[in-house]
DNA sequence: CATTTATTTCAAAAAATCTTGAAACTACGT
DNA sequence: ACGTAGTTTCAAGATTTTTTGAAATAAATG
């Protein structure tokens, strides 16, 4: 037998931290398990293994594995090498600014790209519409176009305004 | 019989506009029907009635009623009086900046308030933890506190940075 | 005030999403 | 190459969220 058995159960400090992150991820429309996993990794003084997550949070290994993967793709956590251990251990990214931009990039970027073509097409359709309505359509489509541009600036906006 | 029968079906311009808004609301984790409803109201040159939404979007009256209510609470649409008509008619709020802040206010504000107390409690727990870990906990909790403060600034940040 | 028209409500159905667990896969140690 | 520990995958199950439609409510009309 290698490595120590992970603690079981959660301290009050741990479970309340987790509760906070669960609320945050749910607010953003992400699954609760992501909040649990990140929350525990965030508060623990030492890197956490998947086994520990499964035991202490009482989630399935499937959930843990998928949750960890998603957190890795957001770069919300990273793998850390622990000498003499076979398991993977995880540490949190604790700079929320980075976290937020990674998240927005991943979620927003693809939509923005799709959206651009769509708006161009709208323009064409508006020009082909009856004169009485054409001006109205141009107007609304322009506003949409501006919204789109703004969306593209959200990440930089957050980085600039929010200096923490 | 009073009032004209609403058009049935959707023009290409209409359905593509709707598609854009559906994608946006889904991105934000809101139900698709909200995007459909707002999308049609947004693109139409004239105020739209619930009946028209039901017929042209092919959604149930229940959905339409609930969707309209939610959009009203976000102030994404408003009721407009149409002389000689009994039905309610709706026009869109087309200033997305307002829309975004209303939305964030409604969604974020309550969570932020809950969160504050929670973080205070975390502090207390950290102070009661073993010395070896106390400093670590203080650190993480402080970062959380900063995240919280940032969240509270998001609406103003958007308003300031994004001048459209 | 009865009737018709418009809107809301809400329990049940449908759809979408999240979680589970067992099997497949990987890679390391012997 | 075999066995074991660790992780990933994915179909089935559980849960949550959204949608529906019918009944209740409201509000204007004759």
Query: Considering Cα of A20, then A23, then A28, then A30, what sign does the dihedral take?
Result: positive
> pLDDT band for position B2 (50/70/90)?
very low
Mean pLDDT in residue range A82-89: 92
Stated as kind and residue range, the H or E segment containing A115 is: helix A96-127
Strands A48-49 and B48-49: unpaired
Comparing A75-84, B1-10, B38-47, the range with the smallest average pLDDT is B1-10
Q: In this structure, are residues B138 and B126 in contact, taking their beta carbons and an 8 Å threshold?
A: yes
How far apart (Å, rounded) are the C-alpha atoms in residues B91 and B78? Answer: 6
pLDDT at position B111 is 84
Mean pLDDT in residue range B46-55: 97
pLDDT at position A21 is 96
**Does residue A104 belong to the interface with chain B, where contact is any CB pair within 8 Å?**
no
pLDDT at position B153 is 81
Q: Which residues of B touch A93 (CB under 8 A)?
A: none
Whether B39 sits with its Cβ under 7 A from any strand D atom: the answer reads: no
Using alpha carbons, select from B80, B78, B79, B69 the residue that is nearest to residue B34: B69
pTM (2 d.p.): 0.90
> What are B110-138's pLDDT values in tens digits?
888 888 899 999 999 999 999 999 999 99
Using alpha carbons, select from A40, A78, A31 the residue that is nearest to residue A58: A40
| Test the A interface: residue of B44, B45, B98, B149 with most A CBs within 10 Å | B45
How far apart (Å, rounded) are the C-alpha atoms in residues A54 and A65? Answer: 9
Q: In this structure, are residues A79 and A92 in contact, taking their beta carbons and an 8 Å threshold?
A: no
What is the layout of strands, in order, in the sheet containing B48-49? Answer: B48-49, B89-92, B77-80
Q: How far is the CA of B107 from the C1' of C18 (A)?
A: 22
Whether A61 sits with its Cβ under 7 A from any strand D atom: the answer reads: yes
How far apart (Å, rounded) are the C-alpha atoms in residues A106 and A74? Answer: 7
Q: In this structure, are residues A19 and A38 in contact, taking their beta carbons and an 8 Å threshold?
A: no
Which residues from 76-105 of A have any strand D atom under 7 Å from their CB?
86-88
CB atoms within 10 A of CB A142: 13
Query: What is B14-63 written as a DSSP string?
Result: HHHHHHHHHHHHHHTT--HHHHHHHHHHHH-SS-EEHHHHHHHHT--HHH
Q: Largest alpha-carbon pair distance within chain A?
A: 80
pLDDT at A158 over 90: no
pLDDT at A18 over 50: yes
Task: List the Cα angle B152/A160/B145 in 5-degree steps.
Answer: 35
Query: Considering Cα of B109, then B31, then A111, then A116, what sign does the dihedral take?
Result: negative
Burial of A55: CB neighbours in 10 Å, binned 0-12, 13-18, 19+: middle
């Amino acid at each position: 037998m290698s490595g120590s058995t992970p603690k079981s159960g959660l301290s009050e400090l741990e479970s309340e931290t987790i509760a906070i992150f669960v609320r945050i991820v749910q607010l953003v429309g992400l699954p609760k398990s992501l909040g649990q996993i990140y929350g525990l990794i965030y508060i623990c003084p030492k890197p956490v293994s998947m086994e520990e997550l499964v035991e202490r949070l009482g989630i399935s290994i499937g959930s843990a594995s998928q949750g960890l993967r998603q957190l890795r793709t957001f770069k919300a956590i990273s793998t850390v090498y622990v000498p003499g251990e076979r398991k993977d251990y995880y540490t949190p990214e604790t700079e929320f600014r980075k976290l937020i931009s990674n998240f927005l990039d991943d979620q927003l970027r693809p939509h923005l790209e799709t959206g651009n073509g769509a708006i161009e097409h709208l323009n064409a359709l508006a020009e082909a519409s009856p004169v009485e309505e054409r001006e109205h359509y141009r107007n609304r489509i322009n506003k949409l176009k501006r919204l789109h541009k703004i969306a593209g600036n959200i990440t930089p906006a957050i980085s600039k305004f929010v200096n923490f």
